[in-house]
Amino acid sequence: MNLENISPVDGRYQKDTEELSKFFSESALIRYRVMLEIEYLIALGKEKKFLQVKNFSNEDKKTLRNIYQTFSIDDAEQVKTIEDVTKHDVKAIEYYLQTKFVELCFEEFIPFIHFALTSEDINNLAYVLSFKHALKKIYLPQIKKVIEILQTQAMRYKSLVILAMTHGQPATPTTLGKELFVYINRLERQIKKIESHIFDGKLNGAVGNFAAHHFSSPEVDWLQFSTRFVCFLDLQPMLLSTQVNSYDSLVESFMIINHINIILSDLAKDMWLYISRGIFGQVVQEAEVGSSTMPHKINPINFENAEGNASVSNSLFTCLIDKLPQSRMQRDLSGSTMIRNQGVALAHALLVVKNIHKGLNKVVPNIPKIKNELTENFVVVTEALQTILRKNGNKDAYEKIKNLSRGKNLTRKDFLEFVENLDLPMEDKMKLKMLTPENYVGVF
């Protein structure tokens, strides 16, 4: 951990977020740009009607690709040194590659580095690819781990009846397993969206018209070329655009993560409340300290951390969602300034997921407390009583049971005495006499 870092993502939480560095660091962005410039040149060589660049041999392709496959922090620093002079990040990549091509005896291809491209052709692909790769390789496996532990606990506690709360008041009992399955279902819905999400990429020149491409080499079908190249990157071609990618598909992926953050924040708050109620106890970590002054404290820090990071992440994503699809006329630089923060937003989302996972691993149901809550709130079964009365044609069933129970501490004895005096079929009467909060849980 670098104690002089300003951002907690790279400071306090570095151990949980450093795996994102290879996708969103400045060095990673430069490497993506280098990769795209190299692959673009190789694609030019494959274009049969573009005679100025030969189709590279397998050995030459291997040599060219080795430039980005072995790209190091020293290489990134060389690019930054050039950028200090050019004051232009993508042009610095071009100049860096020129020096590499001289070293590798590829001087004849120097004119075709970044041929007819605008910076946004490289940048939009780099930003979209980095987010897509980080989402699929880092974030998605972590959210699946959360679902796995939720599934394990949901199955383990599928028959554990707990007192439900609506409006913060005792309500019809439920099972702990069912309540966890609710979150599993919600998260799986969003995961399907991530897995099927299609990301767009554009490569069409200065203002999106292939002007330089077409003017210099009209014999080439540049729309087809662009389509093949973007598809090669496993992105969907955006052939119709201004100079910039509208980033509609990218921000749609942000919306999915934003929604997952909301779901996980909801889960974190519920777990916090279950712990506060005593429904869950927390596993004691001997070396941990809960309070600087109160030795007894075991705080639900992971759920609180998750909730806080969800807010930070969603604030950043919301800002990006609002701004990135907007660009004055054919382009301005405000979006380019902001998109660099997509990794920060995802880093905070990753912290949400990891803290939920840690928190779930630290809790165990407090069975005595759970049973005691049910016993003390026998009144919750009156819903069943008034429903049975309705089934038997009683027109004022609700009002009768309301008078019996609302705002009162109804005991099982009170309940049984009331049932005994009802004019009901024996079968229904017996069902009611056997009724308890523990067995009033419906089909789940």
Measured CA to CA, the distance from residue 349 to residue 354 in angstroms comes to 9
List, as one string, the DSSP characters of 270-312: HHHHHHHHTSEEE---TT--S-SS-TT----HHHHHHHHHHHH
Where do the DSSP E strands lie in 38-146? none
For the chain, give percent helix, strand, coil, nearest 5. Answer: 65, 5, 30
β-bridge mates for residue 237, sequence order: 201
Q: Could you say which of 167, 196, 292, 296 is catalytic?
A: 167
CA neighbor of 253 nearest in space, from 380, 353, 345, 386: 345
Measured CA to CA, the distance from residue 415 to residue 388 in angstroms comes to 14
- The burial class, CB within 10 Å (0-12 / 13-18 / 19+), for 133 is middle
Q: How many CA atoms lie within 13 A of 334 on its CB side?
A: 11
Contact status, residue 160 vs residue 176, Cβ threshold 8 Å? yes
Contact status, residue 171 vs residue 380, Cβ threshold 8 Å? yes
Active site residue 291: yes
Q: Could you say which of 291, 311, 315, 334 is catalytic?
A: 291
Could you list the active site residues? Answer: 167, 291
